[in-house]
Amino acid sequence: MQKRILSVWALVTITLIIASCALSAGDPTGRVDTGLNTGSQNPTPDGLVDRSSLSAAPEVSITTYLPLVIRLSGGIQIGAFVGANPPTTSTVQAFESLAGRHVYSVLWYQGWDSVNQPSFPVPELTLVRYHDGYDTGVVSHLTWEPWVALTDIVSGTYDAYLTSYATQIKNWGAPVRLRFAHEMIQNNVKDGDEWYPWQDQPEEYKAAFHHVRAVFRAVGATNAEFVWCPQNNPFDLNTVKLYYPGPDDVDWLCIDGYNSANPWQWFDDIFYNLYHTFVDHPEVFGVKPVMLGEFASCEAGIDEKPWETKPAWIRNTFERIQSADYAQLRAFYWFHINKECDWQVNSSAESLAAFKTVISTTVWASHPVSK
């Protein structure tokens, strides 16, 4: 299997390194500390958890956020879905305590339809931002699910709701990753077997994605980073590119994939093909950072070979993520929930120990810690 690295990404990497050198010392994430966080927390520069002396969250926070290209210079970002929509302080803290690391970003899900049109949950997300007793700047990553006809989005039926929501995100001010209508390809055949109503409609999907992005631009919600996220299969270029809205509308490329242990799949089995469809074809996708939008592994079943274990999968996965084969991979989100199987990092003591070990190095970026 030929494994290539784009020279153009090398140039981007050099740019990131130069930009990183211009940042304030001591904050590898690119978040500028304005000096307004004056609590008495114990700083942990390596991102390890220390909550022994946390103060109450202040009433107001003023934080300046640098552009995405600069913020990506600080390592591969630690993210997770922690089982709550929207996330809560307790669920984020519980995951961080298990992992022994602070997260950089938290994934959550929100659906809407013709009747139920929820707001962007500012009070809840504010508590999450202050979950360690100060403004952590933790990045909210919203999977936004439109349970409506894509053609109605394009025609403007929901423009009032889209405009209101985009304005709420604009007023939030901090970066928000918006993963709109994820996993849009089921089998590229509209046959009624789709698990999401937005699947297998390439032209309608692209038009709806573009329309939503245009609404956000119209209100000035430039802090919204749009994430385009198919699942790992299909991965062939001719199919995948049918659904791509275009590099002007997409900030992040993204892949969802799991080892369900039936059959057993290692990290490369799941992610290599689609990742390289993305990065080997910049003429289609542009040069974009890539994230794992959802990923995890089940524990081994009775049919697995002795070496096919979840701890081994975790060790292999985090070794591969940081390899040159995945040089554009800049963030991941572990799917930490007991659902189809126990995807959680602590599904066994051995799996948790493996996760804590691999995540303990400074290759992985946490949210900013108290100064």
Query: What is the reported pLDDT for 77?
Result: 97
Average pLDDT of the segment spanning 235-252: 98
Q: Report d(CA 187, CA 189) in Å as an integer.
A: 5
Query: What is the reported pLDDT for 64?
Result: 44
Query: What is the reported pLDDT for 231?
Result: 98
**pLDDT, tens digit (0-9, with 9 covering 90-100), for 18-77:** 333 333 333 322 322 222 232 323 333 345 554 433 333 333 333 345 556 555 667 999
pLDDT at 266 over 50: yes
Average pLDDT of the segment spanning 197-225: 98
Query: What integer best gives the mean pLDDT of the chain?
Result: 85
DSSP for residue 336: -
DSSP for residue 367: P
Query: What is the reported pLDDT for 262?
Result: 87
Q: Report d(CA 66, CA 20) in Å as an integer.
A: 11
3-state helix, strand, coil in the chain (%, to 5): 35, 20, 50
Helix H or strand E segment including 9: helix 7-21
CA nearest to 74, candidates 291, 327, 366: 366
Contacts (Cβ under 8 Å, ≥6 apart) of 19: 69, 70, 73
pLDDT at 84 over 70: yes
Average pLDDT of the segment spanning 187-200: 95
CATH topology of domain 7-365: TIM Barrel (3.20.20)
Q: Which of 18-22, 141-145, 222-226, 286-290 has the lowest mean pLDDT?
A: 18-22
Higher pLDDT, 7 or 133: 133
Query: What is the reported pLDDT for 154?
Result: 98
Query: What is the reported pLDDT for 204?
Result: 98
Average pLDDT of the segment spanning 307-326: 97
**pLDDT, tens digit (0-9, with 9 covering 90-100), for 102-127:** 999 999 999 999 999 999 999 999 99
Query: What is the reported pLDDT for 67?
Result: 57
User: Are 352 and 345 a contacting pair, CB within 8 Å?
Assistant: yes
Higher pLDDT, 38 or 259: 259
Query: What is the reported pLDDT for 57?
Result: 31
Q: Report d(CA 195, CA 183) in Å as an integer.
A: 10
Query: What is the reported pLDDT for 73?
Result: 63
Average pLDDT of the segment spanning 158-174: 98
Q: Report d(CA 314, CA 192) in Å as an integer.
A: 36
Task: Find how far residue 115's CA is from the centre of its chain.
Answer: 28
Query: What is the reported pLDDT for 369?
Result: 78
